[in-house]
A and B are shown apart, each in its own frame.
Chain A
């Protein structure tokens, strides 16, 4: 496999959420999502119930993948920040730690300058958490951890899903 399975533990999940909540407040944003580059939603804070979060995660990852493809075509490694301006709402999308995507939705109560500034600070914090998380995952895999939830599933468990 080219990539190990991404695992989110409870402690890191709390740390990520705390960091996102702080960013939400400091950037005066409406909602913030953290998405895996493969399109899986990791976390969301703010007015998340207003949105179809799964679709949003998948389209964001598609967007980042497509612009990443464009970047490579012109000899860039990636475009690490994308900004979409709407009539009322705007999206600021950035890559954190080369692995996850930070999506900040904001309206006229905030500004692009403020969001960029706060995102930069939060990205450093989130990078630290994800580096720690990846290290932890690798260590657990090496230890062949028995608490892996799928290690002991039976064929019956799988068949029951489809019954």
Chain B
């Protein structure tokens, strides 16, 4: 649910990065943070465990510039990927405007990918959203790992609806901004429809 403020002439939207544990959601945000001019971004907050695993969420505000005199700001969130943090994941999906599902290209993580995607669908439904109607992008991350699953197989398993998809390597940044731009664009197009 975006927030339009006529007084400060701002529009704020929320993007959530979802996916199984260790798929690279936080790494996506870290790369965006490192590569963005300081004046365009706020502070990045990571509520993580001592071993750097996301405990509640990562958060980063990002300003993209103006459209028709309105400052456009995106709030990027990640969810904790580990299965037992499901209660926290549900909370972070509240008020979401667009979702990026980050899939892990490791063959042995295919089950975890499928489980997380199903979990996303269920948790969105609980909040009254339908994944098929939301701005939604899939990112196939870790394309650089030895023996990465072929994209065709990932697509068959995870993207039957043929939503926009990107190959990525979040550690080097490949595909990270392409993914972000694509989801931001879908959200703005959705806003244009004036929902």
Please report A residues at the B interface, Cβ cutoff 8 Å. 1-10, 13-14, 36-40, 42, 52, 54-55, 58-59, 62, 65-66, 68-69, 141, 144, 148-153, 157-158, 160-162
Contact = CB atoms under 8 A, between A and B. Distances in A.
B42 A2 contact: no
B94 A65 contact: yes
A1 B129 contact: yes
Given A1-B1, A55-B43, 13 more contacts: A1-B128, A2-B1, A4-B1, A7-B3, A8-B4, A9-B7, A39-B59, A40-B3, A55-B45, A62-B92, A65-B94, A150-B67, A162-B185
A54 B56 contact: no
B4 A5 contact: yes
Nearest to B5: A8
Contact of A161 (B61, B67, B92, B95): B67
Interface stretch (B28-36, B68-76, B106-114, B151-159): B68-76
A80 to B, nearest CB: 17
Contacts of B42: 52, 54-55
Interface of B: 1-8, 11-12, 14, 42-43, 45, 47, 56-57, 59, 61, 64-65, 67-70, 72, 75, 87-88, 90-92, 94-95, 127-129, 181, 184-185, 188-189, 191-192, 194-195
Nearest to B14: A38
A29 to B, nearest CB: 22
B8 to A, nearest CB: 8
B66 to A, nearest CB: 8
A156 to B, nearest CB: 10
Contact of A14 (B7, B65, B88, B91): B7
Contacts of B91: 62, 65-66, 68-69
B15 to A, nearest CB: 12
Top 7 A-B pairs, shortest CB-CB distance: A2-B128, A38-B95, A13-B7, A65-B91, A40-B3, A3-B1, A8-B5
Among A5, A66, A152, chain B packs the most CB atoms within 10 A around the CB of: A5
A161 B65 contact: yes
A151 B43 contact: no
Given A2-B127, A13-B7, A39-B75, A150 B1 contact: no
A153 B1 contact: no
Contacts of B1: 1-6, 38
